[in-house]
Structure 1
């Protein structure tokens, strides 16, 4: 194969990679950006960026607003819903294992735009009193899953979410100051897990870890009575629940991203 043929075969792959990178940049920018901003961030020329955006607009993945800004389009929602459904199908046995192992409610949560939604939930063998449920929107600033999801975003994007309006103070333990929350999220990024110690509801504690490799930021969490869920690195002899969650998150990631045979 000569060099010309090789370049021609690799050109479409490069175009796809660049187009997907533009979608990632739009998402990181909060869903909307100017063409010049995207070109600068992607390290591409304006003509190349315009051609790629034109193709994405034609396919319905990007729209051009009246102020000449580009934004993510609704067609991406269908892809996200399909991916989320696949994750949910493959995650259930792992959620059941986590619920049985920990004695707590196990759940998945997804970040879509500014909203964190608990998409799937498996109850333990024993009843747990809690106000959450599948399809329930949760507060990203105080729920363990919400904090894990925020920690995956660029700081500027987190600031936009936290500064939309007054953050509800669910309990006396809820952090509501954006500066304090941003500092707290630094620790979440460093440790790779988040704790909700009665910040969402008195008497309820939650732990959460990210699920790697998902199309949209997704978290695996457990929650239940604070007396039944020890804090990480607590006294000797208690189960390492974070390890249980991380192992299950890795299994969910592999099963959801492995092609069906």
Structure 2
């Protein structure tokens, strides 16, 4: 396995391909061994051979994409955990992809617990800061489509359940403005969400606090805004997970 990986790494260094003899020399493998491994890797789709030169194949490219995606996930998890510790609040990362809300990462502690998902986050985007922030980044048609599939409903006395009123509220927010939400999803909880972009997808980092600490919501949101900007350079960033 290690010898095969050395060959794959060597091939990856040659954008225009490399012959077996050169790859054997670069990896320190005997030529018969290199030939055998190269044929096996080509048969499995990790390499392809054209005119005596070896290139990375589709399987290797998929493996590389998967590895890169795992690295991005680890980076996001580390950042969210860092912000949780620095700000002292639960922190969330979510995406709007293919018409659905996806909460990708939640980081909390026993002393600062995350909001309990008592009603499916995907179906209640109208009520929580994460969903409102994601919907605010969509165009009018996409917002209406989402609310037709998931009609607003009252979850608490503070929920905006009128579709028209909600659309007007989202329109006023602007595409990249932070969102504050107070007890609309769950009584006793206030939340804030910071908009970012993730490739072609809308995304958000968010935080929550118990209503008894509502006075900390705006300062915590500003701190999260600053932390996102400091570590990622700009709120208009391109990340994926």
TM-score bracket, shorter-length normalisation? 0.5 to 0.7
Query: Which of 208, 218, 228 does residue 249 from structure 1 map onto?
Result: 228
Q: Deviations over 1:201-238 (max 9, x none)?
A: 000111001123544211000013122243666xxxxx
Matches within 5 A, 1:59-98: 85-98=70-83
Distance 2:91 2:84 in 1: 5
Query: Which of 105, 110, 116 does residue 101 from structure 2 map onto?
Result: 116
Query: Which of 190, 193, 199 does residue 205 from structure 1 map onto?
Result: 190
Provide the secondary structure at the position in 2 that maps to 1:230. helix
1:69 — aligned with what? none
Contact 1:99–1:105 (8 Å) recurs in 2: yes
Describe the shift of the 1:178–1:112 C-alpha distance in structure 2 as closer, same or farther (beyond 3 A): same
Unaligned runs of 5+ in 1: 1-79, 234-239
Matches within 5 A, 1:1-261: 85-124=70-109, 126-128=111-113, 130-132=115-117, 137=122, 139-189=124-174, 192-230=177-215, 240-250=219-229, 253=232
Distance 2:193 2:67 in 1: 23
TM-score (norm: length of structure 2): 0.60
Unaligned runs of 5+ in 2: 1-64
Contact 1:212–1:249 (8 Å) recurs in 2: no
CA-based RMSD of the aligned residues comes to 3.5
Aligned length: 174
